[in-house]
Structure 1
Amino acid sequence: MTEKESFTDLHLPRVIDTSSTDFINEFYIPLLSRADRYQRGVGYFTTNWVRSAARGIAELAHNGGTSQWIVSPKLQESDWDILERGDKAKRNEALKESLDQTISNLRYDLEYETRNAVAWMIADGLLDIKLAVPTRNLSGDFHDKFGIFYDSYGNRIAFHGSQNDSEQALRNYEAYTIDCDWVSDREEQAVDYQEKRFINLWRGSEEDIDIYSIPDASKADILELRDPDNRPYRAQQPTGSKSPKITLRDYQQEAVDAWFKNGYEGLFQMATGTGKTFTALAALDEYIEVIDGPLLTVIAVPQKHLARQWASEMDTFGLAQPKYIYGSANPEWKKDLSRIVTNIKLENTENACLITTHTTLADEYFRKKIDGLSQDSILIADEVHGLGSEYQRQGLREEYNARIGLSATPERYYDEEGTDFLVDYFGGVTFEYTLEDAIPEYLTPYEYYPVLVEMDDDELEEYRDMTKKVAAAYADDNADEEIKQVLQSKRASIVKGAARKYDSLRDILENIGNPKHLLVYTNPKQIETVGKILNEYSIVHHKFTYHEGDDLREELLERFGKGEWDALVAMKCLDEGVDVPETRIAILMSNSGNPMQFVQRRGRVLRNAEGKNHATIYDLIVVPTLNPGEEIIESERNILKKELGRFEEFAATAKNEHEARNKLEDIRIAYQL
């Protein structure tokens, strides 16, 4: 997805005037071409201005943007009485007569391209015009001149001044005062004020201003200006309706239907690579259609680099681009969140969408803004298992009256309380789609090769000593729990740092030759040595860790997909949600017994890609020794039994299941499992 330019890229002065600024080329066109919504209240409107700003208006249409204009009709004296009496038929006739000349100008004064564009925008609902007539305590014209621009990132610019939208005004000495809501609190308040004025006028809520829609007869005259054989911009899909090109797989539609039947709540327990994001957005797309009133959509992701991936999928559905609400992407996220929620509460906007991280979702400021929200809202939680911790689940507020949780493994490892909370909050698992269901139609078949790695003599001696200390600590009723955890962690570090893993890595690289699209999962202690070994084999690679920024990681994934990088060496950043479908081979140098981690890592390898018919996984399994003494057997039996659960799951759906299981039999026999 090509990212749209933001208003913040522009450097607009506080005040502009026609003496020093080309209003069309230096103000209107740059803003309209970046905008996805434009509101304008203006006293005198002529087609000359439309022609002058045609390029910007065309860009607005191409962006799928919408525009609302409030203008003053040119009325005869006799028309005022008709409007005041409220006779609808005569009122429409009077308004139509006032518009006839303007429509004639549209027909004869505008160039073909601009005339066609304006007519099509009105036909498609991208441009709506209302007429303002002062009444009661006011007896003149609607003579205001102000406007508000909105971009797809939630930024707003308001302007107010003396210039009308007419050719003569462009020749006059005129000026605008400009307010940008991200610059300061004062300018944000000024934008709020202009926005509120426009909304009140548009709704007809101003006491001394009557607002009229364009009569149907006048609109029909405008629509006749269209060229039916030449739509000047691509047809836009209405918000809340899927593109004709989007076809859900049967199981994805089944998941959406199950969610609706469950009262707009549910967990989608779907194997990694089967389209959880796509399914959730399809549910959102259908949900928008049944909501009457404003809707706040909150999408929470575990890692910030997943936000752009979600935004890209939203673009596929034709959904409005979200606002990023977390610190590294948006230092002003608190201000933006406040404005978004306030607009929803005041019903100043139909729909708003934001993407945040799990951590920010649970932030106190974020929670307080959501609390008390009575309008419809939906929470979509990606990799929902991450929200089950005591801190993170604070972000799961009751105000979200529609909820979708996504995960291949919603159960939390050794956290029954957190798991139960998630299942209860999201209304249970409403749909499940396993790896076995997905292979081979939707996921790539794979071969699984467990590689047994024994400790060297020094590591084994250290491991035995540490095992005795762990056993002694657990036998002592007075031992501090923290000490037990520290001792266990030290023993686990011996396993993770086993030196013979590097010999096994070299053996694997010798076996696979010149790898393309290789992922190597490591831990912080291994990553530098792994990089040196890949260099030995002339494998072009790059680290993929939290140290690399969002932009670099996105570039790395793109270049990896194209084959410009042979390999990526990753830690946890590729565990959740990142799409790397081109991956053919994975080497798991470092793993944990946590099912969430190894299921996610396997999922990175199994996504379908053009020309990819199978994948290969090498899994390095460290054991103290294949000839254990009795003391090792006793201490390791339960640990290895849990670890074998992971190996069994990997082997069960592998093409070479029996070969993989036979490899593990050596461990079973040695440790009497």
Structure 2
Amino acid sequence: MARVSTLTFDRGTLILHPPPKGSEWAQFVQWDERIEKFRLPAHQYRNFLEAMRKGGIDVKDDARHFQELQLPTPEIQPFLHQQQALHAWKQAGRRGVVVLPTGSGKTILAQLVMHSTPRSTLICVPTLDLMHQWYAGLLKTFPEAQVGLLGGGSKDDTPILVSTYDSAAIHAERLGNQYALHIYDECHHLPTDFYQVISDYSIAPYRLGLTATLERTDGAHERLTHLIGPTVFKRTPEQLSGGVLSPFKEVQIKVSLSPEERQEYDRLIEERNRFLKDQNINLSSLQGWQQFVKQSARSQAGRGAMLAHRSAREIAFGTSGKLRVLSDLLSKHLGERTVIFTDDNATVYKISEQFLIPAITHQTPVKERHATLERFRSGDYPVIVTSRVLNEGVDVPEASIGMVLSGTATQREYIQRLGRILRRKEGKEAILYEVISEGTSEERVSERRRGVEEPKKPPTPIKGLEQGTLDLNTSVSWEDL
């Protein structure tokens, strides 16, 4: 009697034994001399089984430990873009990345995905704040489901598990065959050497990535196609403005350095540029910056050039002219819910002290941060000032005015900060002010960022999918798992 080939899971990999007949399976496996069996990567689970079925090869699947869930239909009326995103994801084989701006309902889309793919689900998020937000939202939408947490002292074993990326990576070998659906919130965090084991060690046949800012400066976002799937749907803030999101406008204000600031700024930039010229370094690329950092640690001249660069940056970011503009803007928008963004904590505390505005930085204790945001939500605090800690991963209550005093270097950071003020409210028009120092590198960086913005064009409709026609069936297209 012929032995049946069996597929089993082993700490982030798959073992195939004994080998089946034919040769179709050989392209997926490698021989492991330690155990004298064939082994293949866990993330090849779906591709392997599809190839075996197509070739008529019988393989017993003992790898998966998924559970079927009973999830009620979410009591929501999805927006058209959420319906289209769900449709596009399902059409792509229930694998892929959806790019939507902050405030457009990515969490609701994920809940629709979970309902349409009712199997054990792992949700990965970058922060503990987001972990608890997801947990509360899932309990509200699926009150009868078993939802657990992994991270922040919790180590649950439940069919629906919300985890930080850190904890999921640490436990990747154990979790790899437990969940059929992976949801990666802020998925641009995934393609790092540490985090991507969550995907590589998993057999999950269904994967959804969510982000407002897909591109990474190191180009690693291109690995998301391998880790999750291709980008299947995308909408920009401009495309959803005035409908799902509040209408908004951007206002750039340029301030001049004082004569003393200008003289010192030019001196520091000249010192930095002499070193860059001697070392043949061009800062217009990521590789150039990395080379500058490397060379700055190798000589006294390099250290001096880096210090000059940072000091010049501090002058451009913290010029007194920006504080005068800030004072005028606060008077103009007196009583309106406002978030002030800066690049560094020192400027945050300077503004907080001078204008008596509550501050939130990464140094702010968690309880104090929550209390400040609650008072901001209620209107007790109409204005808060922060650095990068509120760029993502925190549910900032409704605001209509954003004032960016520094830190607009990347398209990602800019979109993240814009997203803090776009949540829709009847009659609201959001305004994002960008205050930059004229004649400095800050101005040139802002111009480059504006130059790569996508054109403001209407979204391309998905044929055959109109408002109100969302398919909420729970059928699973690939395999009845």
Q: TM-score, normalised by structure 2?
A: 0.69
CA–CA separation in structure 2 for the residues paired with 1:445 and 1:548: 32
Q: What is the Cα deviation at residue 577 of structure 1?
A: 4.3
SS of the residue corresponding to residue 207 of structure 2 reads: strand
CA–CA separation in structure 2 for the residues paired with 1:528 and 1:493: 14
Q: What is the Cα deviation at residue 443 of structure 1?
A: 0.7
Q: What is the Cα deviation at residue 312 of structure 1?
A: 2.5
- In structure 2, list runs of 5 or more residues that go unmatched: 1-68, 282-290, 297-301, 457-481
Pairwise mapping of residues 453-602 of structure 1 onto structure 2 (< 5 A)?
A: 453-477=255-279, 481=292, 482=294, 483=296, 486-487=306-307, 488-512=309-333, 514-522=334-342, 523-535=344-356, 541-602=357-418
The answer on whether the counterparts of 2:437 and 2:443 sit within 8 Å (CA) in structure 1 is no
The answer on whether the counterparts of 1:314 and 1:321 sit within 8 Å (CA) in structure 2 is no
Pairwise mapping of residues 86-485 of structure 1 onto structure 2 (< 5 A)?
A: 239-243=70-74, 245-288=75-118, 291=119, 295=120, 297-318=121-142, 320=145, 322-326=147-151, 329-330=152-153, 333=154, 336=155, 340=157, 352-363=159-170, 366-370=171-175, 373-399=176-202, 400-413=204-217, 415-416=218-219, 418-477=220-279, 481=292, 482=294, 483=296
Q: What is the Cα deviation at residue 478 of structure 1?
A: 8.3
The answer on whether the counterparts of 1:581 and 1:608 sit within 8 Å (CA) in structure 2 is no
CA–CA separation in structure 2 for the residues paired with 1:436 and 1:321: 38
Residue 561 of structure 1 aligns to which amino acid in structure 2? R
Q: What is the Cα deviation at residue 242 of structure 1?
A: 1.6
CA–CA separation in structure 1 for the residues paired with 2:191 and 2:226: 11
Residue equivalent to 2:26: none
CA–CA separation in structure 2 for the residues paired with 1:623 and 1:390: 39
The answer on whether the counterparts of 2:191 and 2:223 sit within 8 Å (CA) in structure 1 is yes
Q: What is the Cα deviation at residue 322 of structure 1?
A: 3.2
SS of the residue corresponding to residue 346 of structure 2 reads: coil
Residue equivalent to 1:206: none
What does the per-residue CA deviation read over 1:263-321, in whole Å, with 9 as the maximum and x for residues that have no partner? 22110111221111110121012111xx4xxx2x2222222211222122212321536
Q: Decide whether aligned partners of structure 1 residues 503 and 652 sit closer, same or farther in structure 2, where only a CA change above 3 A counts.
A: farther
CA–CA separation in structure 2 for the residues paired with 1:590 and 1:357: 29
Residue equivalent to 1:618: 433
Q: What is the Cα deviation at residue 640 of structure 1?
A: 4.3
Residue equivalent to 1:4: none
The answer on whether the counterparts of 2:117 and 2:181 sit within 8 Å (CA) in structure 1 is no
Larger-gyration structure (1/2): 1
SS of the residue corresponding to residue 574 of structure 1 reads: coil
CA–CA separation in structure 2 for the residues paired with 1:623 and 1:559: 35
Write 1 or 2 for the structure with the bigger share of helix: 1
Q: How many residues align?
A: 366
CA–CA separation in structure 1 for the residues paired with 2:89 and 2:132: 25
Q: What is the Cα deviation at residue 401 of structure 1?
A: 2.8
- In structure 1, list runs of 5 or more residues that go unmatched: 1-237, 341-350, 536-540, 626-635, 654-673
Spell out structure 1 runs of 4+ moving beyond 6 A: 648-653
What does the per-residue CA deviation read over 1:69-121, in whole Å, with 9 as the maximum and x for residues that have no partner? xxxxxxxxxxxxxxxxxxxxxxxxxxxxxxxxxxxxxxxxxxxxxxxxxxxxx
Q: What is the Cα deviation at residue 411 of structure 1?
A: 0.8
Give me the identity figure in percent.
25
CA–CA separation in structure 2 for the residues paired with 1:419 and 1:558: 34
Residue equivalent to 1:96: none
Report which structure shows greater RCO (CA 8 Å, sep ≥6). 2
Q: What is the Cα deviation at residue 530 of structure 1?
A: 0.8
SS of the residue corresponding to residue 406 of structure 1 reads: strand
Q: What is the Cα deviation at residue 605 of structure 1?
A: 0.4
SS of the residue corresponding to residue 309 of structure 1 reads: helix
Q: What is the Cα deviation at residue 510 of structure 1?
A: 2.8
What does the per-residue CA deviation read over 1:213-268, in whole Å, with 9 as the maximum and x for residues that have no partner? xxxxxxxxxxxxxxxxxxxxxxxxx842224x322222212211222222221101
Q: What is the Cα deviation at residue 508 of structure 1?
A: 1.4
The answer on whether the counterparts of 2:148 and 2:162 sit within 8 Å (CA) in structure 1 is yes
Q: What is the Cα deviation at residue 429 of structure 1?
A: 0.3
The answer on whether the counterparts of 2:340 and 2:383 sit within 8 Å (CA) in structure 1 is yes
Pairwise mapping of residues 644-655 of structure 1 onto structure 2 (< 5 A)?
A: 644-647=447-450
The answer on whether the counterparts of 1:581 and 1:606 sit within 8 Å (CA) in structure 2 is no
Please say if 1:603 is aligned against 2:419: yes
CA–CA separation in structure 2 for the residues paired with 1:375 and 1:369: 8
- Measured on the aligned residues, the alpha-carbon RMSD in Å equals 2.7
Q: What is the Cα deviation at residue 556 of structure 1?
A: 2.9
Q: Decide whether aligned partners of structure 1 residues 608 and 624 sit closer, same or farther in structure 2, where only a CA change above 3 A counts.
A: same
Q: What is the Cα deviation at residue 425 of structure 1?
A: 1.6
The answer on whether the counterparts of 1:362 and 1:395 sit within 8 Å (CA) in structure 2 is yes
The answer on whether the counterparts of 1:582 and 1:612 sit within 8 Å (CA) in structure 2 is no
Q: TM-score, normalised by structure 1?
A: 0.51
Residue 353 of structure 1 aligns to which amino acid in structure 2? I
